A and B are shown apart, each in its own frame.
Chain A
Amino acid sequence: MARVETHLESLRRVEEFLYLEASFLDRPDLDAWIELYTEDGTYWMPASEDQPDPVNHISLIYDDRVMMEIRRRNFVHPRAASKDYKVRASHIISNVRITAMDARTGDYTVTSNFHCAYHYWDEQRLYAGTYRHELVNTDGGFRIRHKRVDLIDCDSVHGSIIIYL
């Protein structure tokens, strides 16, 4: 019988996965990124602090797989003027904590802080906030069932956000 993973080992495995996701968004490579999500996976960027739900209040982004698939195609469309300018991002993820774990399935809920330096068109911006990942344990490793991105300036004025953070 396999040895039970220690908390530190679990945390390390979770961190590796978050870094993998971040590396796809840094490039950005949406084809690889989308494969990290489950078929019922969702990505949510609320537009207000402590927003209780994604659909009865305005959100900056709330995408399921269908919207992710549309966005992925839009991102590389030759006639999308806003995509004429390459996005280059650099995500730093820290303060990673496992806030819930299902001992039976091996699923985790993970919160972390992120800073994302983001170069687009003629400027460099800094996005910062917290991530909440609901990770599903599969034979092929983790998959994301839900990712919530709470920007510290979620309810402020925003320029074009061209890609997932």
Chain B
Amino acid sequence: MSYTASEFDALVTPTRVHRKLYTDPEIFDLEMERIWGRSWIYIGHESQVPEPGSYITLQLGKMPVVMVRDRSGTVHVLYNRCGHKGTKLVDKPCGNTGNGFVCCYHGWNYRLDGQLMGVPHMSGYVSTGFDKNDPQYSMQKLARYDSYRGFVFATMDAGAPDLKIWLGGAGDVLDNLCDRSPEGEVEAAGGVLRFDHRCNWKMFIENLNDTMHPMIVHRSVVDAANDYIRTLPPEDSARREEAEIIPPFGASYKNFEASGITGFRYGHHYDGGKTSIHAEYSIDPDYEAAMLAAYGPERTREILTFNTHNTLYYPSLTIKSAIQNIRVIRPIAVDRCIVETWSFRLKGAPDSLLRRTLLYSRLINSSASMVGPDDLTAYRRMQQGLQSTASDWVDMHRNYGSDEDHGDRRTNTGTSDLDVRTQYRAWRQYMLGEVN
């Protein structure tokens, strides 16, 4: 390992970060260990494993992991590795493994909580020192896993703070996502999109609250939509949901300033709150009626006017509570990550809400949309540009020095770099082992 603590310290200052953070494979490996190995990482939603034996598989950092529901209904997060020779035990994105896991290679089998049950032809192990009950031969559990309103997170660090402490004030947005259901619950619905990003994972999350880019990067789709929608008779254009979703991406600097950015401990942040680019969406009257019946007028108004845009739970999860979709970041290499888009159904809400969520995911987040590919083009060009030694620094000066400290959170104008500064404060702490 060639980076000393003081060298790391020098790579990140309050207003700029070194280009090596995006280009050096060694830093990527250390990030997997120190950030992705210590932070709470989003695994999946409990609704994705509805029955005993239901599982989903994923890569957590470099490691294959399985989330599974056992016969008592408890959800576990296990390393997806046979205790014998290391074979992955399940290898579909999702499925049901019945009463337990059976290895495809030598037939070692495990309970749904990972405990080793059977080893074929045991007689060969007699008097060898092998003990089937030694926990090292079971499927290993992640150091800690927990769920918050159905969203399951896990960490490889036994000393990590409790999930609720770690979420902190940023947890308000997960609450808002669930509270938008008349029943207070959401479920994953309508499948997933997986978008290959040939860029460093941090470029994607730095863009989430980067409100200085939409009017530049997304101008082409906003112009195209406005140009065409303008030609439609008003009665046609008024009922197009696309007309609500696409044009706000061209909102002015002033609009984005008003949305504000709020940053928290551990690298979390969101933009919006009082207002966001989702604030002017129409409300299905049946949905409004269901919400009023469930919560009454005051609480309904409170829930529906808490309008955040993107919220980051550093480093792996970003959610849009007003849209009911989430994106999950799965890093692959220093110059590659996969971004998953999942959509959620608000339990007790009309089907039109899920259809709008899916429309949004398709229009904005699909690899075949007119939005995501333009963002990705900028990230890929950064990935290429940062190979240059002409300058070593990536800048984050915007509105530096005026972040307001409110104890558990910091705020600044919506066009500030407060979000990126928040991420790199956490990055530095994780990488130096100073996070607590």
Given contacts A61-B366, A80-B220, contact A157 B194 (CB under 8 A): yes
Cβ contacts B183-213/A at 8 Å (1 or 0 each): 0000000111111101000000000000000
Spell out B's residues near A (CB within 8 Å): 190-196, 198, 216-217, 219-221, 223-225, 227-229, 232, 240, 242, 246, 338, 341, 343, 351, 354-355, 358-359, 361-362, 366-368, 370, 372-374, 376-378, 381
Q: Which of A80, A156, A158 meets B368, CB within 8 Å? A: A158
Is the pair B223, A77 in contact by a Cβ cutoff of 8 Å?
Answer: yes
Interface of B is mostly: helix
> Does A48 interact with chain B (Cβ within 8 Å)?
yes
Taken together as a complex, chains A and B put the C-alpha atoms of A87 and B407 apart, in Å, by 51
Is the pair B224, A71 in contact by a Cβ cutoff of 8 Å?
Answer: yes
> Does A3 interact with chain B (Cβ within 8 Å)?
no
Q: Which of B191, B225, B246 meets A47, CB within 8 Å? A: B191
Taken together as a complex, chains A and B put the C-alpha atoms of A61 and B367 apart, in Å, by 9
Which residues does chain B contribute within 8 Å of A47, judged by CB atoms? 191-193, 366
* Contact stretch, chosen from A7-15, A51-59, A97-105, A134-142: A51-59
Is the pair A74, B376 in contact by a Cβ cutoff of 8 Å?
Answer: no
Interface-centre pick from B196, B217, B224, B227 (highest chain A CB count, 10 A): B224
Task: Identify the closest chain B residue to A160 (Cβ).
Answer: B373
Is the pair B196, A157 in contact by a Cβ cutoff of 8 Å?
Answer: yes
Which residues does chain B contribute within 8 Å of A57, judged by CB atoms? 190-191, 358
Which residues does chain B contribute within 8 Å of A83, judged by CB atoms? 220
* Contact stretch, chosen from A21-29, A62-70, A88-96, A111-119: A62-70
Which residues does chain B contribute within 8 Å of A79, judged by CB atoms? 216, 219-220, 223
Which residues does chain B contribute within 8 Å of A77, judged by CB atoms? 219-221, 223-224
Is the pair B358, A55 in contact by a Cβ cutoff of 8 Å?
Answer: yes
Given contacts A157-B338, A158-B196, contact A66 B373 (CB under 8 A): no
Which residues does chain B contribute within 8 Å of A160, judged by CB atoms? 367-368, 372-373, 376-377
Task: Identify the closest chain B residue to A159 (Cβ).
Answer: B196
Taken together as a complex, chains A and B put the C-alpha atoms of A81 and B216 apart, in Å, by 10
Is the pair B195, A81 in contact by a Cβ cutoff of 8 Å?
Answer: no
Q: Which of B198, B221, B355, B378 meets A55, CB within 8 Å? A: B355
Taken together as a complex, chains A and B put the C-alpha atoms of A45 and B376 apart, in Å, by 21
Task: Identify the closest chain B residue to A46 (Cβ).
Answer: B191
Spell out A's residues near B (CB within 8 Å): 45, 47-48, 55-62, 66-67, 69-74, 77-84, 155-162
Which residues does chain A contribute within 8 Å of B372, judged by CB atoms? 160
Which residues does chain A contribute within 8 Å of B361, judged by CB atoms? 58
Q: Which of A59, A73, A78, A158 meets B362, CB within 8 Å? A: A59
Taken together as a complex, chains A and B put the C-alpha atoms of A83 and B194 apart, in Å, by 21
Is the pair A159, B224 in contact by a Cβ cutoff of 8 Å?
Answer: no
Which residues does chain B contribute within 8 Å of A67, judged by CB atoms? 242
Which residues does chain A contribute within 8 Å of B246, judged by CB atoms? 70
Q: Which of A55, A82, A156 meets B374, CB within 8 Å? A: A82
Q: Which of A58, A72, A159 meets B198, CB within 8 Å? A: A159
Task: Identify the closest chain B residue to A83 (Cβ).
Answer: B220
List 8 A–B pairs whose Cβ atoms lie within 8 Å, in order of A's numbering.
Answer: A57-B190, A57-B358, A61-B366, A72-B224, A74-B220, A80-B374, A158-B193, A158-B194
Is the pair B368, A161 in contact by a Cβ cutoff of 8 Å?
Answer: yes
Which residues does chain A contribute within 8 Å of B341, judged by CB atoms? 58
Task: Identify the closest chain A residue to B378 (Cβ).
Answer: A81
Taken together as a complex, chains A and B put the C-alpha atoms of A155 and B341 apart, in Å, by 12
Is the pair A82, B368 in contact by a Cβ cutoff of 8 Å?
Answer: no
Task: Identify the closest chain A residue to B342 (Cβ).
Answer: A58
Taken together as a complex, chains A and B put the C-alpha atoms of A74 and B242 apart, in Å, by 14
Interface-centre pick from A60, A61, A80, A156 (highest chain B CB count, 10 A): A80
Interface-centre pick from B216, B223, B240, B366 (highest chain A CB count, 10 A): B366
Is the pair B242, A56 in contact by a Cβ cutoff of 8 Å?
Answer: no
Question: What distance in Å separates the Cβ of A122 from its nearest Cβ neighbour in chain B?
Answer: 9
Q: Which of A59, A66, A70, A78 meets B221, CB within 8 Å? A: A70
Taken together as a complex, chains A and B put the C-alpha atoms of A155 and B69 apart, in Å, by 24
Is the pair A82, B224 in contact by a Cβ cutoff of 8 Å?
Answer: no
Question: What distance in Å separates the Cβ of A74 from its nearest Cβ neighbour in chain B?
Answer: 4
Taken together as a complex, chains A and B put the C-alpha atoms of A159 and B223 apart, in Å, by 24
Taken together as a complex, chains A and B put the C-alpha atoms of A45 and B366 apart, in Å, by 11
Is the pair B343, A162 in contact by a Cβ cutoff of 8 Å?
Answer: no
Top 3 nearest A-B pairs (CB, nearest first) are: A80-B220, A73-B224, A160-B373
Question: What distance in Å separates the Cβ of A51 from its nearest Cβ neighbour in chain B?
Answer: 8
Given contacts A67-B242, A157-B194, contact A56 B220 (CB under 8 A): no
Which residues does chain B contribute within 8 Å of A80, judged by CB atoms? 220-221, 370, 374
Taken together as a complex, chains A and B put the C-alpha atoms of A74 and B377 apart, in Å, by 15
Which residues does chain A contribute within 8 Å of B343, judged by CB atoms? 58
Q: Which of B219, B351, B366 meets A60, CB within 8 Å? A: B366
Taken together as a complex, chains A and B put the C-alpha atoms of A157 and B373 apart, in Å, by 14
Given contacts A47-B193, A58-B343, contact A82 B373 (CB under 8 A): yes
